[in-house]
Amino acid sequence: MHSDLVISQADRRPMYLQILEQVRRRIAIGDWQPGDELPSIRGLAASVQVSVITVKRAYLELERTGIIVTRQGKGSFVADTADLRTRLQHGELDEHLSSAIEVGRQLGLGATELEGRLRKLWDRKAPDVAGKDERER
């Protein structure tokens, strides 16, 4: 499998997390399909120029969360679960919403105020969809 992951030293997130997130992203958008083989740990380490131990840690974490499976002596594969892609996309959405909540809290906003803000942005960004939504009510 081709592995054009890129990690950045200027990124404040640790390197293992950058790798982990990029692998998750690849699977979420469907570039890497369930059952596909991942690059080997040493191969990926060499191609993105990070320590073997860093890639190992990212893979272990992906394994722990059921996103990939590692078969002894055979390599690592994207988990063959039907809803993996949707699960990852929902996970991503939750992460974004969580950080919005965090910023909201710092501004002293409650849940209702945040909901209002979300609704406002929704209407501005997708008026057609929002309009349809209104009509259906």
Partner 1 sequence: MTERLIEVAGVEKAYRFFRLTNVSLELEAGQIMGFVGPNGAGKSTLMRILMGMARHDRGSVRVLGHPIPEQQAPAKRDIGFVSEDMRLHGNVSLAWHMKLIASIYPAWDATYADVLLDRFNLHAEQQIKALSHGERVKATLLLALARRPRLLLLDEPTTGLDPVARHEILTELMAVVQDERRAVLFSSHNTQDVEQISDQIVFIDRGRIIDASDKETFLDRWRRLHLDVPAGVELPALQDVVETRTSGQIAIVTTKAYSPGLETIYQRAGAQVRDIQRMTLEEIFVANVMSNRREQAA
Binding site for partner 1 (CB under 8 A): 9, 12, 14, 16, 42-43, 45-46, 49-54, 57
Tell me the closest approach of the beta carbon of residue 58 to partner 1, in angstroms. Answer: 10
CB closer to partner 1, 15 vs 68: 15
CB closer to partner 1, 58 vs 88: 58
- Element (H or E) spanning 29, and its range? none
CB < 8 Å & 24+ apart, contacts of 39-48: 39/1, 39/3, 40/75, 40/76, 41/76, 43/3, 44/3, 44/5, 44/19, 47/3, 47/5, 48/3, 48/5, 48/6, 48/7, 48/19
How many angstroms separate the CA atoms of 16 and 6, rounded? 12
Tell me the closest approach of the beta carbon of residue 21 to partner 1, in angstroms. Answer: 16
Tell me the closest approach of the beta carbon of residue 55 to partner 1, in angstroms. Answer: 10
CB closer to partner 1, 50 vs 67: 50
Tell me the closest approach of the beta carbon of residue 36 to partner 1, in angstroms. Answer: 22
List all residues 6 or more positions away from 114 whose beta carbon is below 8 Å from its beta carbon. Answer: 100, 101, 104
CB closer to partner 1, 27 vs 44: 44
